[in-house]
Structure 1
Amino acid sequence: MHAALALRFAAIVHALCRAVAARGARGALAAPVVILLWLRLNRASKRIDSLAARLDAAGGALPAPKPDRRRNRPARRSKTLPRRFAWLLRPIPEATAAASQLRHLMADPACAALLEAEPRFGRILRPLCRHLGIRPPASIAPREPPPAPRRPKPAPDPEFIPEIPTHAAPPAPRIRPRAQRPVRAPPRPA
């Protein structure tokens, strides 16, 4: 059952990869972005396929993921794709079809139940949803804490009046240019 959903997702990603490669060859995207996007899409497809296979083999429930040991390592700067919402739709118009298919797949009751039960699928799909301009369902939407309230700027002290140094020179006078009078031609002798 989960393998069928993974195959549908792989078909969507494969069509999107073909469109990215075709538009990238025409210069719609820079070559490094095309390569990075291609790699990320294929990796997402493989991760979905692997997770679905493990879920089918386990009979519907996976053990909790192991703690991530990479958190103790210093963060290295990785190459990133643009983070704007729906950034992929402008350079690759064919991505709208992939977005529609992915939206339809996530609306499928079997897929919705899978996304609700297994949060790892949400971590894989969330970036793709952002790239394609899809608002993720509530089951995979990021659970971010509300933003901290901004500190108000301190009001100036009403009793504080800045001192003007006595040794400061007075401001230079403003000189206005004189209006020029029209030049008259000398009178002609008669």
Structure 2
Amino acid sequence: MNLAARFAAILHALCAAVARRGANGAFVGETSRPGSAFADPHAMTVLLWSRLQRAIARFARLAAGAPPPRPRKPPARPARARSAPDLPRRRGWLLAPVPEATAAASQLRAFLAEPETRALIAAEPRLGRILRPLCRTLGILLPAPQSCPRRPRAPGTPAAADPPTRPHRPARTGPHPRPPRRPRAPPAPA
């Protein structure tokens, strides 16, 4: 089985688990968190499922040797603010609501550790853009080649000044006695 088909098999199993658990209300806890933009937990299920399906298609396209992207013109108007809700960004957030995701994470970790996969990712760095959010969702730490490379500074841009630091205190020698604790006052009678 080629790399794209193996990646697709891992993610199809994850999609099935997400759909099954999402239909049973697994994402209710995620949507009720403070700051969540989802009013309906099923909307989160659909968004996650569609992102996983898109990742499968993008991985297959890049593994087959997609041409490099054409340079884009800068947009004529400023970008609009995001109005659509986004998925959580905590590392490994999917493992709690979808316990089957641990199996997918284990399979993906083994898939990424294989020399053939590492060679493909080294040859096609755009795969990192697909793998980084997926690995963060599953709690997988990426090896160094898949990490995002640092962008070079634009010519003529001065280096940022070092942030101010606190003055250095010399280390004390000997025991460090703690100041005595003040007793707390008893609560006032009501």
TM range, normalised to the smaller chain?
0.5 to 0.7
Q: 1:115 to 1:148 in 2, by over 3 A?
A: farther
Matches of 2:161 and 2:98, distance apart in 1? 36
Q: 1:144 to 1:6 in 2, by over 3 A?
A: same
The corresponding residue for 1:48 is: 59
Matches of 1:38 and 1:70, distance apart in 2? 31
Q: Which amino acid aligns with 2:10?
A: I
Q: Secondary structure at the residue paired with 1:92?
A: coil
Q: Which amino acid aligns with 1:96?
A: T
The corresponding residue for 1:115 is: 121
Q: Cα offset for 1:46? A: 0.5
Task: Specify which of 40, 45, 58 is matched with residue 34 of structure 1.
Answer: 45
The corresponding residue for 2:32 is: none
Q: Deviations over 1:65-92 (max 9, x none)?
A: 2224476551441321000010000111
Matches of 1:148 and 1:134, distance apart in 2? 34
Q: Which has the larger radius of gyration?
A: 1
Percent of counterpart pairs with the same letter?
A: 53
Confirm or deny that 1:105 pairs with 2:111: yes
Contact between 2:62 and 2:124, CA under 8 Å: does it hold in 1? no
Please show how residues 61-140 of structure 1 align to structure 2 within 5 Å: 63-69=67-73, 73-77=78-82, 78-140=84-146
Matches of 1:45 and 1:138, distance apart in 2? 22
Q: Cα offset for 1:117? A: 1.2
TM-score (norm 1): 0.68
Matches of 1:140 and 1:7, distance apart in 2? 20
Unaligned runs of 5+ in 2: 28-40, 152-159, 167-190
Q: Which amino acid aligns with 1:79?
A: P
Q: Secondary structure at the residue paired with 1:88?
A: helix
Number of residue pairs aligned between Structure 1 and Structure 2: 144
Q: Deviations over 1:94-114 (max 9, x none)?
A: 000000000011111000011
Q: Cα offset for 1:149? A: 5.6
**How much is the aligned-residue C-alpha RMSD, in angstroms?**
2.5
Q: 1:63 to 1:14 in 2, by over 3 A?
A: closer
Q: Deviations over 1:8-57 (max 9, x none)?
A: 0000110000000111111111111100000000000001111122x2xx
TM-score (norm 2): 0.68
The corresponding residue for 1:14 is: 12
Matches of 1:70 and 1:37, distance apart in 2? 30
The corresponding residue for 1:174 is: none
